[in-house]
Amino acid sequence: MEVAPDTWVIQATQGEGTAPLVVHMNAMVIRGAEPVVVDTGCPVDRDRYLEDLFSIVDPADVRWVFISHDDVDHYGNLHEVMDACPNATLVASWFLCERLMGERLDVPPTRWRWVGDGESFDAGDRTLVAVRPPLFDSPTTRGLFDTKTRAYWASDCFATPVTQGTAFVEALDPDEWAQGFATFQTWNSPWVSMVDPARFAAECRRIEELEPTTIATAHGPTIEAGHVARAFELLRAVPTATVPPQPDQVVLDQIVASIP
C-alpha cells in the first residue's frame, strides 16, 4: 500500500482467519533516489515479503536497510535482503548490532552504518532521521522520519489489533480504535504505567513537533493525515489507561480442548 509519495507499507498479518483479533506484521520501503528498506518482516512470511519488496524496488537499487529494533518480526529476513541487495548498507546502532551478534548477524561491519536516536543519514533526495518513539519494547528501538514526505515509521508504537487486515485507521470504528490502541500500547510497553504523565507527554511532543503527515506502524493500520492529531491524543492518554487482562490459563485450556 502506498502511504506517502514513493513510500509503501508491506502488509502482513498474524491470526487472520484463526483468531478474533489480528495483529499486523508490517514493514516499509522508500523508493527514492537511494531506496531504503525499513524493517524486513517475519521469517514465516519470507517468500511473500520478498516478493512484495522486490516488486517495488530492484534489489540492485537498494542502498539502505534500516532495522528499527532487534525483535525477530523486524529483522527476520535481514540476511536474505542483504544477500539479495549487494549495494545495501545496514543502518543500525551499536547496541542493536551487539544484541544481534549474540544470536546471529552474518553481515560484515564493512556494510554497517551506526545511526543513534536523533541522528540522521542522507539517502540522496531526502534526509532520514532516527527518532525513538515514546513507547517501545526494546532498548534498541528507533523510529524513522522522512523529512521529504514527513512520513514516520513508528516501529511498534501507535499500533492496534484489528479484526482483519486493514490499510488505514479511517476504516476502523473510532471507539474500537481507541480501545485497541490502549490495549496494544499497555501490553507491549507495560512500564508506561510507571512513568510521569507530564514527562511522557514531552516525549510525545518530540514526535508531534516533527509534524508527521503519515504514521506507519509495524503492528496496525497506517495513520493518515486526518487522524494524526487523534493518534497523539490517544498516545498521551496511555500512562493512565485501564489495562485489560490478558488471556489466562482458562483461555489456554479452552484452546487446548478445541484441538481435534
- Residues in Cβ contact with 44 at an 8 Å cutoff, skipping those fewer than 6 apart: 76
Angle (deg, nearest 10), helices 197-208 and 225-236 = 160
pLDDT of the residue at 18: 66
State residue 104's pLDDT score.
85
The second-level CATH assignment, the architecture, of 2-257 is: 4-Layer Sandwich (3.60)
Type of residue at 154 = A
**What residues contact residue 171 under an 8 Å CB cut-off, 6+ apart?**
221
Q: Where are the domains of the chain?
A: 2-257
Question: What value does the mean pLDDT take over residues 9-15?
Answer: 91
Question: If you average pLDDT over residues 213-239, what whole number do you get?
Answer: 97
d(CA 38, CA 140): 15
Q: How far, in Å, CA of 32 to CA of 8, rounded?
A: 11
CB neighbours (10 Å) of residue 197?
Answer: 13
The whole-angstrom distance between residue 256's C-alpha and the CA centroid of its chain comes to 31
**Whole-prediction pTM:** 0.95
pLDDT over 90 at 260, yes or no: no
Return the pLDDT at 110: 97
pLDDT at 206: 96
Residue type, 86: P
* Continuous H helices in 57-173: 72-75, 78-84, 94-101
The model's pLDDT over 175-202, given as tens digits with 9 standing for 90+, comes to: 999 999 999 999 999 999 999 999 999 9
Kindly report, residue by residue over 50-100, the tens digit of the pLDDT.
999 999 999 999 999 999 999 999 999 999 999 999 999 999 999 999 999
Other Cβ atoms within 10 Å of 26 Cβ, number: 27
Percent of the chain with pLDDT over 90: 89
| pLDDT value at residue 103 | 79
- pLDDT band for 17, please (50, 70, 90 cuts): low
Q: Pick the range with the lowest mean pLDDT from 54-58, 124-128, 151-155, 164-168.
A: 164-168
Using CA atoms, how far apart are residues 39 and 75, in angstroms rounded to an integer?
A: 6
Question: Does the pLDDT value for residue 149 go beyond 90?
Answer: yes
Query: What pLDDT is attached to residue 102?
Result: 80
What is the average pLDDT across 109-136? 98
The residues near 132 (Cβ < 8 Å, ≥ 6 apart) are: 117, 141, 142, 143
Report d(CA 250, CA 253) in Å as an integer: 5
Own/partner pairs for 229-233, CB < 8 Å, 24+ apart?
Answer: 230/174, 231/158, 231/169, 231/181, 232/204, 232/207, 232/208
Q: Does residue 152 have a pLDDT over 80? A: yes
pLDDT band at 26 (very low <50, low <70, confident <90, very high): very high
Q: Could you tell me whether strands 13-14 and 7-10 are parallel, antiparallel, or unpaired per DSSP bridges? A: unpaired
| Whether pLDDT at 19 is above 80 | no
DSSP string spanning 17-78?
TTSSSBEE--EEEE-SSS-EEE----GGGHHHHHHHHHHHS-GGG--EEE---SSHHHHTTH
Percent residues over pLDDT 70 in the chain: 99
